[in-house]
Chains A and B, each alone.
Chain A
């Protein structure tokens, strides 16, 4: 049976091979921190890491990540103390909060590959993640703040 490593645990996968990872995580593993916002790869609410890199879980099939390592917001840090999460709380980023798991995963992926991103690089990396509440100013500030601590 194909298996996926999710947040450090081996999870067997037996369903439709075309099922997006998003629904495998949410409906089969009950990891509901990863959100559905558009299903079309254009909002970023469903962002998770595959082998440490941000991907849209609504556009990635469960089959595609067989044998790979998936990290969701629940697994980013055991205590919720990842520098990005801490920065998010310090800056009081969220309003409704719905987009924030995706934003945080995107930002953590950016900082993992680029410890000191420029403002333009932050904008480029984060522009795929919509926040309808309009927290962009604080998201930008929080990424900058976290960059000091990653």
Chain B
């Protein structure tokens, strides 16, 4: 998402990664499950390898795009150890393992001899590092394959020089290069990667158009099901290093008191009592960034520095602060929802128009209309925000669980008033991110505190309460859907009005309207074959910081659209799954122009020609999910199945939720069936874990989690009142079906696409079980 906000060129700098997490990993044999996505131009039968034509991705629009230099990402030691740098942040998706798998497979490295090194924030060196938007595999499978293939060629070329033969007679296989005889059979001679290391790395890097890639049939890691994540052993033994686990000599611990209302300021404060708390060593005021738009500017407040986190927290409790709240103190969630509902009832700004919707509604025999509401949500990753900073002698080192280390580095340099070359951002493991850790305000706070302390290293810990009360909030929304139906029960008109404070208000002057990224998330691109469609946006001003949370605007949009489809099906006496397939209509690639999509239509950042919306793929996942879930089977009373599907982040997902509603109204979910088509896929084991996690997060979003404001301040404080799914009530059994995409299909996103369909599918299932339609998220866990 950040490509929208960051256009400045940044200074280059070469740094070497310093946090190394060397982990044990094992590879077991797996089921062959791959699909080829490439056009073979020329195939060398001797090597069963093929040339690939590069396709364009959204990476071209990201700051610093991609780097595909094997010398940046791969090093081979004389003992044969292969070091692979991973430049994307690990927050639970497994990307720290999956991207190196791509390189290792393509270069024929033995996975058990690969160690993974986490890159520092350095985009000129590594390419874009904003780990969000489900982009890592979408944008980097090509450059990583290119790095691996180039290094394989370099190994073979080095062997050719050693043996004095043609490179075509040298074939890399499983960590060695084998010499082939005149008949292309192994001659019995070989050189290990270790023996070739020095010479191979000194070889010139072959250009992409001279590279041959492994064919899908030759993959040993890509698409296989058994590669364990690199950090698995460390995680299960407490050795994995997250943000708060960094320890520096002389390091102090800090917490901050921040204004409860956005734009609030410290009017007066008295630190005397805080300074008397045992262990408290200093108190400093940090000036907030109050110019609007705020970006990721710090909120400001009072920092308490102590010799333990506990003492710092106790010191904060003892502070006397008088706050000045400012204009956002009037923000109140109940009133705001009423305001948005009224706005949604009126025509809004037209974002997409196709055909003549007004005429369709005038002529309609029946009109369906409903409003769908959703509250704010916070990402609330289990690891609260934290950063360690040492700012001394004109140099800054910051360690943090951060999704966007290079963006952070630039802002840190500005805030500290030192050149970017003197700022180093070290990326630790992230204890969950979900979008919040793309925003680096917490790192700037830590760095400013260390600077104020004259260079003392400091660990700034956000408490859980801080995390809930000073977030960048997933937006609050009202979605209105109106459907025109003619006398033959055919849908002739579709109107969708979205009303929600926009993320763009964080980066630009707030107009109250959304922006292309939000429109592109299941609002303007609803793939229905309906003749007359209008998508409108009603005005809603932001009174808190709005940010992106895993799955972003697809959550409210897809909830509304997929609920409405089921409601109309019911009104017409149709099966919801059949009706959904019928609305999607014929097999086709949507034509954005013909359908009246806006000129600045945002296709998850990807070029539309390479990543078109393909209704055949969408219908395919719907059919598979429905079949596997036993759609149509007889199920007991007060149980029901619900379905929802969408295309997002260039992947296709359908989810069937099986719900059981107790006689006391208690909602529980015994089973979820998800089908995903994400194109060429790398690590099916991690795709499954993402689908399972998406169902749990979907359950939280739908049933439990909501943030409300009163007098401009967040009402919730901790997991006590901002509730999330627990083992006492979560989707018990999630079955994932990874669908083989048609040959030639590019890799799509995995982290986000499966979250949004859950909400619609669950509410549709609840309706099937109880005839109660829930249109407000969160629903609570009791159907009344």
Contact = CB atoms under 8 A, between A and B. Distances in A.
B287 to A, nearest CB: 27
A74 B234 CA distance: 10
B720 interface: yes
Nearest to B688: A92
A20 interface: yes
B689 A96 contact: no
Interface string A82-106: 0001001100101111111100100
B727 A127 contact: yes
Contacts of B433: 96
A133 B725 contact: no
Nearest to A80: B237
Contact of B228 (A85, A89, A138): A89
B576 interface: no
Contacts of A94: 92, 229, 231-232, 235-236
A59 interface: no
Interface stretch (B159-167, B591-599, B728-736): B728-736
Interface string B246-279: 0100000100000000000000000000000011
Given A27-B308, A37-B383, A92-B685, A16 B279 contact: yes
Contacts of A37: 382-384, 464
In the A-B complex, list the 7 residue pairs whose CB atoms are closest, starting with the nearest. Answer: A33-B238, A134-B696, A98-B431, A96-B92, A73-B238, A97-B235, A95-B92
Contacts of A97: 92, 231, 235, 240, 429, 431
B476 interface: no
Given A98-B383, A101-B238, A40 B718 contact: yes
Interface residues of B, number: 67
Nearest to B730: A136
Interface residues of A, number: 58
B92 A89 contact: no
Interface in B675-704: 685, 689-690, 692-697
Interface string A26-43: 111011111111111011
B247 A36 contact: no
Interface in B374-399: 380-384
Interface string A54-85: 00000000000000000011101000100001
Interface string B464-503: 1000000000000000000000000000000000000000
Interface of chain A: mostly helix, strand, loop or mixed: loop
Contact of B381 (A16, A38, A92, A98): A98
B382 A98 contact: yes
A89 B232 contact: yes
Contacts of A129: 726-727
Given A20-B310, A133-B432, A92 B240 contact: no
A134 B695 contact: yes
A108 B90 CA distance: 27
A123 B668 CA distance: 14
Contact of A26 (B309, B384, B730): B309
Contacts of A115: none
B236 A138 contact: no
A140 interface: yes
A19 interface: yes
A28 B279 CA distance: 12
Contact of B237 (A39, A45, A73, A123): A73
Contact of B727 (A19, A40, A42, A136): A136
A130 interface: yes
B229 A19 contact: no
A139 interface: yes
30 contacts: A15-B279, A15-B308, A16-B311, A23-B308, A31-B238, A32-B241, A32-B247, A35-B244, A36-B244, A36-B461, A38-B719, A39-B718, A42-B718, A43-B382, A74-B237, A95-B432, A96-B90, A99-B431, A100-B236, A104-B236, A122-B727, A123-B728, A124-B728, A129-B727, A132-B381, A133-B92, A133-B693, A134-B694, A135-B693, A137-B734
A19 B734 contact: no
A50 interface: no
B311 A40 contact: no
A48 B571 CA distance: 55
B430 interface: yes
Nearest to A22: B310
Nearest to A143: B727
Interface in B293-310: 307-310
A126 to B, nearest CB: 5
A6 interface: no
B242 to A, nearest CB: 6
Contacts of A104: 236
Contact of A132 (B313, B461, B463, B724): B724
A100 B234 CA distance: 11
B453 to A, nearest CB: 17
Given A98-B432, A137-B692, 8 more contacts: A16-B279, A19-B310, A74-B239, A96-B381, A97-B235, A99-B431, A132-B382, A134-B730
Nearest to B238: A33
A86 B94 CA distance: 19
A147 interface: no
B308 A28 contact: yes
Contacts of A73: 237-238
Interface of chain B: mostly helix, strand, loop or mixed: loop
Contacts of B309: 23, 26-27, 36
A96 B430 contact: yes
A110 B240 CA distance: 24
A142 to B, nearest CB: 10
Nearest to B91: A96
Contacts of A137: 692, 730-734
Contact of A134 (B307, B313, B463, B697): B697
A64 B784 CA distance: 44
A132 B432 contact: yes
A131 interface: yes
Contact of A16 (B242, B278, B733): B278
B432 A32 contact: no
Nearest to B698: A134
B93 interface: yes
B233 interface: yes
A26 B731 CA distance: 34
A150 to B, nearest CB: 15
Contacts of A95: 92-94, 432, 689-690, 693
A26 B242 CA distance: 13
Contact of A92 (B279, B431, B689): B689
A20 to B, nearest CB: 6
B245 interface: yes
A113 B228 CA distance: 31
Contacts of A100: 235-236
Nearest to B432: A96
B37 to A, nearest CB: 26
A138 B692 contact: yes
Contact of A140 (B92, B232, B241, B727): B727
B232 A40 contact: no
Contacts of A34: 238
A33 B692 contact: no
Interface string B115-142: 0000000000000000000000000000
B313 to A, nearest CB: 8
A130 B719 contact: yes
A15 to B, nearest CB: 7
Given A92-B685, A134-B693, A35 B726 contact: no
B331 to A, nearest CB: 25
